Amino acid sequence: MESDERPRLRATTIVCARRGGKVALGGDGQVTFGETIIGKSTATKVQELVKGEVVAGMAGETSDCMTLLHKLKENLRANSNNLHQAVASFARAWNTDKMFRQFNAQLLLADREETFLVSGTGTVIEPEHDVIAIGSGAPYALAAARALSDNTKLGAEEIVKRSLDIAADICVYT
């Protein structure tokens, strides 16, 4: 039986952590095509959108992720690189523009002060904790990051690295 539904998101793992006034965002390098792992450390899934100011991590279908990133970059430019305003503008456009469709993508966006999760359905979430994760390994990475954040004095970068390592030990798509 054929289905019109797109495949379930099994793309990657991206983690963002804040600690001591610093933010770190990191991801695995694995690339999957359907059920097949075709690369383990080659993909660039984290990038600066505004040099030294705004970073983004992406999980999902590459074309959908790139489309969302492009739209967010446009909103950043239109809002003087203010991430909060750009994300709010993006969400308003999503809800009013009939050209938008459902994307198989998730983004984590962070600047010096705020972190946002943007989904391919137009949902924007500002996490309540100092750590957040997206992608197929998100439940594992988030649990690890929360435990590390709550129970250690590790910095943001080390929390991201260790939580990705833990997720990779558990999730075959990470």
Interatomic CA distance for residues 26 and 80, integer angstroms: 25
Buried b (16+ CB within 10 A) or exposed e, 130-151: bbbbbbbbbebbbbbbbebbee
Q: Report whether 89 contacts 74 (CB < 8 A).
A: no
Active-site residue, selected from the candidate residues 12, 13, 32, 174: 12
**Does residue 67 have an active-site annotation?**
no
Q: Report whether 61 contacts 105 (CB < 8 A).
A: yes
Interatomic CA distance for residues 120 and 55, integer angstroms: 18
Instruction: List the catalytic residues.
Output: 12
